[in-house]
Amino acid sequence: MLENLGMAHCVSWVPAAADGVFRFSSRNKEQVAALWGQRKGNRRPMTYQKMSRALRNYARSGEIFKVKKKLTYQFSRATLSALRKCHQGRL
State what percent of residues in the chain have pLDDT above 90.
36
Q: Does domain 5-90 have CATH number 3.40.190.150?
A: no
Paired with 50 in beta bridges are none
Which tens digits make up the pLDDT trace of 25-59? 888 889 889 988 998 898 998 999 999 999 999 99
Residue extents of the structural domains in the chain: 5-90
pLDDT of residue 17: 65
Does the structure show a pLDDT above 60 at 21? yes
pLDDT at 33 (0 to 100): 92
In SS3 terms, the chain reads as CCCCHHHCCCEEECCCCCCCEEEECCCCHHHHHHHHHHHHCCCCCCCHHHHHHHHHHHHHHCCEEECCCCCEEEECHHHHHHHHHHHHHHC
User: What predicted TM-score, i.e. pTM, was given to this entire model?
Assistant: 0.80
Higher pLDDT among residues 89 and 56, named by residue: 56
